[in-house]
Amino acid sequence: MTGLHLTFGLFLLVLLGIGAYFYRTTDARRLADYMLAGRDVGTWPIAISEVASVASGWTFFAWVGVGFTTGLHGLWFSLAMLLVILFMYRYVGPPFRRASQALNSQTVVDHLALTFRSTATGAAIRWVGTVAVVVFMISYVGAQLIAVGEALGTALDLPYVAAVLTGGMAVAVYTTLGGFSASVWTDVVQGVLVLIAALLLPIAAIASVGGWGVFLDEAAAIDPTLLSSTGGMGGGALVVALLAWLTFAMGAIGQPHALMRFQAIRSDTLISKAAVIALCFQALRLTVPLFIGIAGRVLYGAGAAPESAAMLMLADLFPPWLAGVLLAGIIGAILSTSDSMMIVASADLTTLYRRQAGTQVTEGTVLRLGRLMVAGVAALGVGLALWRPGTIFDIIEFAFVGLGVTVGLPLAALMCWTRTTGTAVLATVGVGLVGTTANLYLLPDLFPIFVWPLAFAVLIGTSLMTYEPTGRSA
């Protein structure tokens, strides 16, 4: 156990060292330098950090839990996610990078507001969009820190509160110091460790069961539906389940922490190369955890906590030093998402303040405020994790879908459909914020099936009613 503690402690020191390095060496005198690394990040760092930034507690906790309970039925979500990600890299990323450079936009909300800055709706888009991003991002950060608490509690036997505070303080410090540069390069380190963990965990688990053939036989004996793409469902129940997976996956179009990578990459011509790298990593992290979950069901039985299966394997199947490395990879997947989310929420809040304050505010003041906002978002995330209003899966699903509807859908429409109007963007952001919450609490068994058709209808209908061929319509 001592070796595990020491290895993980060294990992935290590396992350803090990266943050300190960029704080001392980066000439971050403007908000764009702090938030987007001067728009000069290369292909590999962007691709790996984009995958790491969305890997989160979802990969080794929520998605392992899905494998544990429903098995390979989750592959429908994986396939849908890969198609959405391909669409984003092919059709949204390049024009978004070019337009962001032209407008000097810092975030997705900033971009939507600046696009319609000459109309009556531009300021309203900024206000409503910022509220939506902060609500969903704080929820997302809270879910990540719940995962940190569970991981460190299971692997290191730390009390839950101490584990949450440790993870929250670490990510807050290195992100506050180093900004987007620290976020990207810690994500690269963590992305490599995620890859190692994703490869070794299922191999060790299946080997401990007795090999691939024994693993399949025992999984089928425990529950034949674990290895079925239908999850044992048929008819209307299967249709509802598939719609739920599809509408959940569509949230990938609107993850601001991933979309910021498009804004920060050195050139839009590099995005196609980054897409190949990103899709390979995404395919791995969207499929392997399902097998880890099934292996956990075989090893520990149905009575074990589904979202803790990977942590139990880590503690039981590996020597302490290697368990420490794998724990670093898993915690890295979580922190890499948290740091990016803190940057996004801070950027939107800070940009809102700067637009309201006008020319009298200095870049130094804005930069200091940006760092303060990062720490503030971290503190709110810690508070939510200590409150713990739901499972990691539930909270992430809510935030993931909410961000997709409120910011992703309007941005994708803006990049792909010239008739998108400012009024339609504003209406979609508002409907996305309210509709996601209403769908979850009023029709939880059908979440998130209803919010997407509603948002599409509002976007298309409002655009057609308010479009004026003479220019970008309000």
User: Residues 355-410: pLDDT tens digits?
Assistant: 777 667 776 787 778 778 878 888 898 999 998 888 888 998 999 999 999 999 99
CB–CB of 473/467 below 8 Å? yes
Helix (H, G, I), strand (E, B) or coil at 218: helix
What DSSP assignment string belongs to 121-152? THHHHHHHHHHHHHHHHHHHHHHHHHHHHHHH
Q: Which residues contact 415 (CB under 8 A, 6 or more apart)?
A: 91, 92, 95, 96, 99
User: Residues 18-73: pLDDT tens digits?
Assistant: 667 766 665 445 555 555 555 666 666 666 666 666 666 678 888 999 999 999 99
The pLDDT value recorded for residue 193 is 74
The torsion angle over the Cα atoms of residues 163, 168, 173 and 175, rounded to 10 degrees, is 130
The pLDDT value recorded for residue 184 is 62
The pLDDT value recorded for residue 181 is 58
Domains defined along the chain, listed by start:
2-26+33-392 (1.20.1730.10)
* Under-50 pLDDT residues of the chain: 27-28
Separation CA 278–CA 370 (nearest Å): 29
Q: Measuring CA to CA, which residue among 144, 139, 145 is closest to residue 399?
A: 139
